[in-house]
C-alpha cells in the first residue's frame, strides 16, 4: 500500500502532554485535568476542588486510561484529605467510579493506606494529608519512570520479533502521555521505534464509540511527528489481509492471574486477526495493571456504558456547530437499544507477549506473571 496514506505529524508542540497536575493556589489545593472529552478541538482544563468533581471527571472520561486513573485516584484521596473531607468516603467513591481498570483502585488504595498509616503512627490530620499527597506524587513519578522502561523493553522485543525495522504497527484506543505520568504504554513503544528510525507507520484504530484513537492517539501522533494513518475499526481486517500490519501494540486495563487482558472494546477482535495472520499481538502495561487477585478473564467486571454513546454522535466528542456539549446527533432510530461494553477480554493464548517495566512475559502464563509480580515487589 502506498505511503500516501501516512500523515506525518506537523504539530510542533512538545510530545509530552501533561494530563494531570496538582496545584496549590491561595484558595486551596486543586487537581487540574486536561479535559480529554474536548480534545482535539480544544485544550480545556478542568479544575477539581473535591473528590466528587473528580469522580464525575472519571465517569465522563475527562480523565481516563488505566495508569492515569491510578494517579488521579491517588491525588483524589489526597485532595479529600487536604481539604478536610471524609477520606474513607472519598476513597470508596473514587475506587468505584469505573470498575474495569484495576489501576484506579490500586492508586486510591495506595494514598489511602499512606493516610491511614500516618494517622496510626500518631500523626495529625495535616500530617496524614501530606503523607497521602506524597504517596500520590510518588505514584505519579513511578509511572513516568515505568513508561520509559516499558519503551526500552518493548523496543528490544520488536527488534527480536521483527529484525530489520520498518515496522508498521497497529494500535487501538489511546495509550500515550494522555494516560500516563510519562509517555505512556503501547504508544511509548511506538514513539521509541519512531525516534530510533524503526517505525514506518502507526496505524491508528479510530476506536468507536468514543473515538479515543481518532481524537487522542492521532493528536499524540501528530505532536510526535511520526507517520500515522487513521482507520475505522472495521477496516483492520482488510489491512491485515493486505499484509500491512507487522505487529499490534495495545495497552491494558486489567491483566488477570491467568494472563487474560481486559482492554478497550475492539482489542479482542484484533488479537484474533493477529493470530490468523501470524502477526505478534503485544500488550504493554505497568505491573500495577496486573491483578493476581482476579483469577481469570470471566471474573473481570466489564464496564457497560450508556447506549446513547452508540446511538448518537455525541458532542463534545465530536464538536458540531450548533450542538451543545453533551447533546448528541442521533444516528439510529429513536428508542434503539445499544450494546456498549467499554472493554473486552483477550485470552492469554492470543497474546504474544506482555511488556512491563520489569521485563517481558512471553509466553504468557500464570507462573510467569506471578514471578514477575513477586520480582517487582522485591525491588
Ligand atoms: O475507556 P478508556 O478510554 O479509559 O479506555 C482506555 C483503554 O482501554 C486503554 O487502552 C488502557 O487503559 C490502556 S492505557 C495505557
Q: Are 32 and 20 in contact (CB under 8 A)?
A: yes
pLDDT means over runs of 10, the chain (379 residues): 51 71 97 95 94 97 98 98 98 98 98 98 98 98 98 98 95 97 97 98 97 97 97 98 98 98 98 98 98 98 96 73 72 95 98 98 98 85
Ligand 1 centroid distance, CA of 9 (Å): 23
Ligand 1 neighbour 251 (Cβ under 6 A) = yes
The predicted pLDDT at position 358 comes to: 97
If you write DSSP's letter for every residue of 260-295 in order, what string do you get?
-EEEETTHHHHHHHHHHTT--EEEE--GGGEETTS-
Instruction: Encode pLDDT of 305-330 as tens digits.
Output: 999 999 998 766 666 666 665 678 89
The predicted pLDDT at position 315 comes to: 65
User: pTM for the complete prediction?
Assistant: 0.94
The predicted pLDDT at position 327 comes to: 72
Distance of CA 298 to CAs 99, 179, 208, 212, 266, Å?
Answer: 14, 26, 23, 25, 17
253 is catalytic: yes
Ligand 1 neighbour 99 (Cβ under 6 A) = no
Ligand 1 neighbour 67 (Cβ under 6 A) = yes
The predicted pLDDT at position 17 comes to: 73
The closest of 304, 307, 298, 306 to 345, measured between CA atoms, is: 298
With the most atoms of ligand 1 within 8 angstroms of its CB, the residue from 105, 174, 309 to mutate is 174
Ligand 1 neighbour 35 (Cβ under 6 A) = no
Residues annotated within the binding site for substrate are 64-66, 98, 212, 263-264
The predicted pLDDT at position 25 comes to: 96
Ligand 1 centroid distance, CA of 173 (Å): 6
Backbone angles phi and psi of 147, in degrees to 5: -55, -50
The predicted pLDDT at position 328 comes to: 83
Instruction: Encode pLDDT of 32-45 as tens digits.
Output: 999 999 999 999 99
The predicted pLDDT at position 2 comes to: 41
CA distance 20 to 74: 12
CA distance 172 to 216: 11
Q: Are 94 and 75 in contact (CB under 8 A)?
A: no
Distance of CA 174 to CAs 183, 265, 298, Å?
Answer: 11, 12, 24
Instruction: Encode pLDDT of 287-296 as tens digits.
Output: 999 999 999 9
CA distance 179 to 181: 7
Amino acid at each position: 500500500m502506498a505511503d500516501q496514506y501516512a500523515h506525518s505529524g506537523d504539530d510542533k508542540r512538545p510530545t509530552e502532554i501533561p494530563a494531570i497536575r496538582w496545584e496549590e493556589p491561595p484558595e486551596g489545593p486543586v487537581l487540574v485535568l486536561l479535559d480529554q472529552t474536548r480534545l482535539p478541538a480544544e485544550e480545556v482544563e478542568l479544575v477539581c476542588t473535591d473528590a466528587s468533581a473528580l469522580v464525575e471527571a472519571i465517569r465522563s472520561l475527562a480523565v481516563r486510561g488505566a495508569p492515569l486513573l491510578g494517579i488521579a485516584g491517588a491525588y483524589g484521596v489526597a485532595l479529600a484529605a487536604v481539604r478536610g473531607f471524609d477520606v474513607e468516603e472519598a476513597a470508596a467513591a473514587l475506587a468505584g467510579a469505573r470498575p474495569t481498570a484495576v489501576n484506579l483502585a490500586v492508586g486510591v488504595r495506595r494514598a489511602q493506606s499512606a493516610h491511614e498509616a500516618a494517622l496510626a503512627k500518631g500523626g495529625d490530620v495535616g500530617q496524614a494529608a501530606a503523607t497521602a499527597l506524597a504517596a500520590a506524587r510518588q505514584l505519579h513519578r513511578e509511572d513516568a519512570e515505568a513508561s520509559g522502561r516499558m519503551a526500552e523493553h518493548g523496543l528490544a522485543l520488536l527488534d527480536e520479533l521483527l529484525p530489520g525495522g520498518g515496522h508498521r504497527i497497529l494500535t487501538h484506543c489511546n495509550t500515550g502521555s494522555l494516560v500516563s505520568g510519562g509517555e505512556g504504554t503501547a504508544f511509548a513503544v511506538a514513539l521509541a521505534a519512531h525516534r530510533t528510525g524503526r517505525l514506518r507507520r502507526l496505524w491508528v484504530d479510530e476506536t468507536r464509540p468514543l473515538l479515543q484513537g481518532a481524537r487522542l492517539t492521532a493528536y499524540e501522533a501528530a505532536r510526535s511527528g511520526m507517520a500515522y494513518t487513521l482507520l475505522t475499526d472495521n477496516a483492520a481486517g482488510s489491512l491485515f489481509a493486505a499484509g500491512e500490519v507487522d505487529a499490534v501494540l495495545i495497552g491494558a486495563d486489567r491483566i488477570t492471574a491467568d494472563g487474560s487482558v481486559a482492554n478497550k472494546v475492539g482489542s479482542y477482535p484484533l488479537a484474533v486477526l493477529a493470530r490468523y495472520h501470524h502477526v505478534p499481538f503485544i500488550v504493554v502495561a505497568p505491573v500495577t495493571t496486573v491483578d493476581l487477585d482476579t483469577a481469570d478473564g470471566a471474573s473481570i467486571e466489564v464496564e457497560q456504558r450508556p447506549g446513547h454513546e452508540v446511538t448518537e454522535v455525541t458532542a463534545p466528542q465530536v464538536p458540531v456547530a450548533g450542538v451543545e456539549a453533551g447533546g448528541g446527533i442521533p444516528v439510529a432510530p429513536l428508542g434503539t437499544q445499544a450494546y456498549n461494553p467499554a472493554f473486552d477480554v483477550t485470552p492469554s493464548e492470543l497474546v504474544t507477549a506482555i511488556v512491563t517495566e520489569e521485563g517481558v512475559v512471553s509466553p504468557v502464563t500464570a507462573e510467569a506473571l506471578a514471578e514477575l509480580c513477586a520480582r517487582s515487589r522485591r525491588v
